[in-house]
Chains A and B, each alone.
Chain A
Amino acid sequence: NAGVTQTPKFRVLKTGQSMTLLCAQDMNHEYMYWYRQDPGMGLRLIHYSVGEGTTAKGEVPDGYNVSRLKKQNFLLGLESAAPSQTSVYFCASRALAESSYNEQFFGPGTRLTVL
């Protein structure tokens, strides 16, 4: 049981390049989230998904796209990377049930630098 995994762990891009970050979870969770973490800004939600085939915008969606074609995977795409997208990206998942015990499980993060 690997939990939440992210690929790649590190990446350096040039301005204008594109890339896709992969998040995978093996806990059969319905909800999945993509966050970016920047110094002094905490965690900011980029996009989220409440189930296979569904996605929605979070707090800072501009410049990113997502897809959830399979329940266990949540992809984050950058079509044309900008230096402002230099950040650490975290994926998280959460079970469906409306329980106050339901925590989010986080991936290890992807450190992205855009030159």
Chain B
Amino acid sequence: AQRVTQPEKLLSVFKGAPVELKCNYSYSGSPELFWYVQYSRQRLQLLLRHISRESIKGFTADLNKGETSFHLKKPFAQEEDSAMYYCALPWMGGSYIPTFGRGTSLIVHP
């Protein structure tokens, strides 16, 4: 069965420090993976998707099929990055049900 694991519930860093939010997945095929972000008391919104190979707000994520990981990274954290981050498998062949990790709360201290 497909699964997404985010091992850290909370990640606390200081402004300017590097950030890495971990995401591991379990899926037998070739996965598509997304990162969603939820700022305080707001709706979830897409941050980035691996197939686009994009960098959004300084964040990047590389799919590592060997380690089955899709970690989210940013070299220099900003206070406005404080939010809840969810890793997700958005679409599986034959399945309409996205799979979300449990989320990691990132707090960036000034």
Residue numbers of A with Cβ under 8 A of B are 4, 31, 33, 40-43, 45, 48, 50, 58, 90, 92, 94, 98, 100-104, 106-109
Q: Write out the residue numbers on chain B whose beta carbons fall within 8 Å of the beta carbon of A100.
A: 32, 49, 51, 90-91
Tell me whether chain B's interface is mostly helix, strand or loop, or mixed: loop
Pairs A-B, 9 closest by C-beta atoms: A42-B102, A100-B32, A103-B46, A106-B43, A106-B44, A42-B103, A43-B100, A100-B51, A108-B43
Do A102 and B97 touch (CB < 8 A)? no
Q: With an 8 A cutoff between CB atoms, is B86 at the interface?
A: yes
The answer to whether B43 and A48 touch across the interface, beta carbons within 8 angstroms, is no
**Given A104-B98, A106-B44, list of 14 further CB < 8 A pairs?**
A4-B43, A33-B98, A41-B102, A42-B102, A43-B44, A98-B91, A98-B93, A100-B32, A100-B49, A100-B91, A103-B49, A106-B43, A107-B43, A109-B41
Residues of B close to A106: CB separation below 8 A: 43-45
Inter-chain CA distance A104–B103, complex, in Å, is 16
Number of inter-chain CB pairs below 8 Å: 54
- Residue of B9, B36, B46, B91 most packed against chain A (CB within 10 A): B91
- Residues of A near B43 (CB, < 8 A) are 4, 90, 106-109
Chain B interface (Cβ < 8 Å from any Cβ of A): 6, 9, 32, 34, 36, 41-46, 49, 51-52, 86, 90-91, 93, 96-98, 100-103
Which A residue's beta carbon lies closest to that of B103?
A42
Most buried by A among B32, B96, B101: B96
When C-beta atoms are compared, the residue in chain A nearest to B99 turns out to be A45
Query: What are 16 A-B pairs with beta-carbon distances under 8 A?
Result: A40-B9, A40-B102, A42-B6, A42-B86, A42-B101, A42-B103, A48-B97, A90-B43, A90-B44, A102-B90, A103-B34, A104-B36, A104-B44, A104-B90, A106-B43, A108-B43
